[in-house]
Amino acid sequence: MANEIAIGAAAPGCKKVDPILIADGVVRQFGGLTAVNVEHVEIPRGKITALIGPNGAGKTTFFNLLTGFDKPNSGTWTFDGKDLAGVAPFKVARRGMIRTFQLTKALSLLTVIDNMRLGAQKQVGEGFFASFVRPLWKAQEQQITANADSLLKRFKLDAKREDYAGSLSGGQRKLLEMARALMGEPKLVMLDEPMAGVNPALTQSLLEHIKDLKSNGTTVLFVEHDMHMVRHISDWVIVMAEGKIVAEGPPAEVMKDQAVIDAYLGAHADTDLGTVEIKSIKAGN
């Protein structure tokens, strides 16, 4: 597996056979805290890559930086061969890199179908003057609506088509946000904790949707805490801790990596707590 994706051995910052996103020297500091400090990372095209790490590892900040929602102190990155550093978020999306948010952003007072329609790119009717001339955008609108309906069906939201998005459950909103991102036909879809707050029954169908994305040729990069899920669907795992990339590789191997275990469980995970206590008592503490 490592050979299909990476050139050479799997190691933090290793080169990929066919990267879609390459980031170099991305640093983001909040005052004295360095939230993100990524020297080099490549995201493989057409694969599902999981970005994991403990709370506060800088995963979401890294997402925000890559998509233009936050500005780094330094760093460059290219998407599909084109420089993307300092590009406004809406232009990032137009280039084919569409993200979702950890705290779901369903547009509550729009219907589900309008949420979906809004996701489509290059809409003629979104121009001010063109919006008055319905014949200019009617056909495109029908096309968009047809796309939206088929996606809603795939995500089992078709029954909710005319409901306000605000009336959906948390899990359904996650689904809607993912489906809406797909309306833009992204080359790379970036999902920030797609499973957070989703019930287990729905998780299974979400996993299937993410796998479907890959089979349609879309690259997926997602942040997740659930190890079971990561193991189940990802082709490649990148581990972040304290802002840095500490490990990379196929899921089965990464899980065994000492750096990952340290990052998640602490560097002294294998030390018996009982022994620590006895030692400290003996030392007179």
Partner 1 sequence: MDLISIFSLAGNALISPMTVGYILCAIGLAVHFGYTGLLNFGQAAFAALGGYGFAIATLDFHWNIWGSILFGLLCSMGFAAILGIPTLRLRADYLAIVTIAAAQALRFYVGSSTAEPITGGSAGLSQFGQEFYNLNPLPADLTFNLGTVSLTSGEVWIRIVAWAVVVLAVIFMFALTRSPWGRVLKGIREDEDAVRALGKNVFSYKLQALVIGGSIASLGGMLFVMSSQTNQPSNWGTNFTFITWTILLLGGAATLIGPIVGGMVFFALMTLIESVLGIMVDAGLLPFLAVEQVAQIRFLLVGLILMLLVIFRPQGFSGNKKEIQFNG
> Which residues are at the interface with partner 1 (CB under 8 A)?
67, 69, 88-91, 93-94, 98-101, 105-110, 114, 117-119, 121, 123-128, 130-132, 134, 137, 141, 164, 166-167, 177, 180-181, 183-184
**At how many degrees (to 10) do helices 134-154 and 170-183 cross?**
130
CB 235 to partner 1: min, Å: 25
CB nearer partner 1, residue 128 or residue 285: 128
CB nearer partner 1, residue 104 or residue 234: 104
With beta carbons less than 8 A apart as the criterion, state whether 137 and 130 touch: yes
CB 61 to partner 1: min, Å: 15
Residue 17 — φ and ψ, nearest 5°?
Answer: -65, -45
CB 70 to partner 1: min, Å: 11
CB 95 to partner 1: min, Å: 9
Quote the distance between the C-alpha of residue 211 and its chain's center.
14
Q: How far is the C-alpha of 81 from the C-alpha of 78, rounded, in Å?
A: 6
Give SS3 for 70. coil
Q: What is the DSSP letter of 160?
A: G
CB 90 to partner 1: min, Å: 5
CB nearer partner 1, residue 73 or residue 123: 123
CB nearer partner 1, residue 161 or residue 232: 161
CB 266 to partner 1: min, Å: 34
Helices and strands of the chain, counted as H and E runs: 11, 10
CB nearer partner 1, residue 165 or residue 237: 165
Residue with tokens 């790490």: 53
CB nearer partner 1, residue 87 or residue 247: 87
CB 31 to partner 1: min, Å: 21
State how far the alpha carbon of 232 is from the alpha carbons of 192, 222, 254, in Å.
17, 13, 13
Q: If we measure between CA atoms, which residue out of 254, 191, 248 comes closest to residue 220?
A: 191
CB nearer partner 1, residue 88 or residue 265: 88
What is the H or E stretch that residue 50 is in? Answer: strand 48-52
* Torsion on CA atoms 271, 275, 280, 283, rounded to nearest 10: -120
